[in-house]
Amino acid sequence: LSEQKHIEYTEHDRRFMRRALELAERGKFTTSPNPRVGCVIVKTAPENPEPIIIGEGFHLKKGAPHAEREALSSCQDNPSGSTLYVTLEPCCHFGSTPPCTDAILGAGIKRVVIATQDPYINVSGRGIDILRRNGLQVDVGLLEEQARYLNRFFFHRHQTCLPWITLKCASSLDGKLATTAGESKWITGPESRAHVHELRAEADTVLAGIGTILADDPSLTARPEKLSHDQFIPPMRAILDPLLKIPLQARVLQHHDTSKVWIFTSSQADPEKVQQLQNRGVSVRTVEGDQHSLNLRDVLSTLVDDGVLSVFLEGGPQIHTAFLEQNLVNELLIYIAPILIGGADAPTFYMGHGVATIQDSRRLERIERLTVGEDTLIRGILNWQLK
Ligand SMILES: NC(=O)c1ccc[n+]([C@@H]2O[C@H](COP(=O)([O-])OP(=O)(O)OC[C@H]3O[C@@H](n4cnc5c(N)ncnc54)[C@H](OP(=O)(O)O)[C@@H]3O)[C@@H](O)[C@H]2O)c1
């Protein structure tokens, strides 16, 4: 990658990149497995020193034009000589659409400002190099942290070959996820549950353990109030069930025409039950592990091979603990209700071995606190380098 000198960005640069990030965010329910990308094209007319936006666009979904092409085709004026702001390095390869570097060069753009380099191996610096070699001024790194956070699912997948894992749970003030009798409906209020539906709609997969399916009989579908069915991609539902205890009438096995169901199981599962589930259109995947515990990395690489970038982990406590103990969780979403449940045996979302000293505890980064109805949502990153 050609060297980049230190760049002094102007307030205009920051404003246009913020706009490009806003546009990118519009694709958050539909772009996967592609990244969220926004683009703004800006021109300064000789008679007016104030730069103005002449075109903008964002990537909507796989197979649709990339943000740069959308922005170029929306231009109100000839883009020749203008500056293009884009939240991710332009692609330089033939995927579902032709290279964006060709479109940028063809349009006579003079300067390209890029928030962050693409982690995808077929691009990763090559798009930047092509533009520089063709004489364009290319500045990389403006609002980089925000751009990477927006595309954290995509970055994590391409940097680690693992999906981004968001652990979500509903907890009492004393940290319990259920009563000692196993009841958890409903710890949090209706506003929190509506909030969860929107976040499920952003994920590629909602995953739960068989304990939760047997206790709560959830459907695990995304039913966001503010989105119509064509405004998001229904997440696939995945269940970890080593011995295929799932009842054939379970709610999660319904509606699999609109949202696929995958059950991960062990080689010890009953072949007759496998057949019964397959007859209902369920995909049964045998992974490594035993009758109590499936190999989580094997589960995750099977999901990644199917194009999954993100997993929304919905429990229960044993599954949460297993993912946390193996350091696989990237983000926590803890909805805390103002109630006390008590009971030494009532589960918390993180049991495991624990640490001996507070110094060894894990601390969240980029923490957000939100009031949702009567509940409080604490959200943060557990395991990821933004830079
Ligand atoms: N408040 C909340 O946010 C929330 C969310 C979900 C659930 N819950 C509550 O949590 C309770 C159910 O949770 P749970 O802990 O009993 O069950 P769970 O975590 O949903 O499922 C645990 C089961 O998953 C299977 N499994 C497969 N691979 C595993 C692995 N690598 N590590 C651990 N387990 C693996 C095992 O099945 P086998 O049993 O076949 O060995 C294990 O018993 C219910 O009371 C439910 O209401 C609360």
DSSP lists the bridge partners of residue 209 as: 240
**Distance in angstroms (rounded) separating the CA atoms of residues 372 and 314:** 18
**Distance in angstroms (rounded) separating the CA atoms of residues 25 and 19:** 10
Asked whether the beta carbons of 39 and 22 are under 8 A apart, the reply is no
Q: Give the CB-side neighbour count of residue 196, counting CA atoms within 13 A.
A: 25
Phi, psi of 210 (to 5 degrees): -65, -30
**pLDDT at residue 256 in the model:** 67
Higher pLDDT, 39 or 1: 39
Cβ(243) – ligand 1 distance below 6 Å: yes
From ligand 1's centre to the CA of 220, what distance in Å?
14
Give the dihedral sign, CA 200/206/209/212.
positive
Residue in the block written with tokens 């796989």: 62
Cβ(178) – ligand 1 distance below 6 Å: yes
Q: Give the CB-side neighbour count of residue 386, counting CA atoms within 13 A.
A: 17
Give the pLDDT mean for 33-47.
93
Cβ(337) – ligand 1 distance below 6 Å: no
What pLDDT, in 10s, does the model give residues 316-375? 999 999 999 999 999 999 999 999 999 999 999 999 999 999 999 999 999 999 999 999
What one-letter code names the amino acid at 296?
Answer: L
Cβ(318) – ligand 1 distance below 6 Å: yes
The residue to mutate among 212, 284, 313, 325, having the most atoms of ligand 1 within 8 angstroms of its beta carbon, is 212
Question: DSSP 3-state assignment of 106?
Answer: helix
Length of the chain: 387
The strand order across the sheet containing 83-86 reads: 52-58, 38-43, 83-86, 111-114, 137-140
Q: Whose CA is nearest to atom 48 of ligand 1?
A: 177
Asked whether the beta carbons of 115 and 144 are under 8 A apart, the reply is yes
From ligand 1's centre to the CA of 249, what distance in Å?
19
Kindly tell me if the per-residue pLDDT of 209 is higher than 70: yes
Cβ(242) – ligand 1 distance below 6 Å: yes
The residue to mutate among 186, 318, 332, 335, having the most atoms of ligand 1 within 8 angstroms of its beta carbon, is 318
Select from 276, 285, 224, 223 the least CA-distant residue to 250: 276
**pLDDT at residue 3 in the model:** 54
Cβ(316) – ligand 1 distance below 6 Å: yes
The residue to mutate among 165, 313, 319, 324, having the most atoms of ligand 1 within 8 angstroms of its beta carbon, is 319
Q: CA torsion, points 327, 333, 336, 337, in degrees to nearest 10?
A: -130
Kindly tell me if the per-residue pLDDT of 55 is higher than 70: yes
Give the pLDDT mean for 78-86.
96
The percent of residues above 70 in pLDDT, for the chain, comes to 98
Higher pLDDT, 245 or 122: 245
Peptide bond into 317 cis (omega under 30): no
Give the pLDDT mean for 281-286.
96
List the catalytic residues. 68
CA 11 and chain centroid, separation? 30
Cβ(10) – ligand 1 distance below 6 Å: no
Asked whether the beta carbons of 91 and 113 are under 8 A apart, the reply is no
Cβ(177) – ligand 1 distance below 6 Å: yes
Does this model's pTM top 0.85?
A: yes
- DSSP symbol at 204: S
**Distance in angstroms (rounded) separating the CA atoms of residues 209 and 318:** 8
**pLDDT at residue 387 in the model:** 53
Atom of ligand 1 nearest to the CA of 335: 3
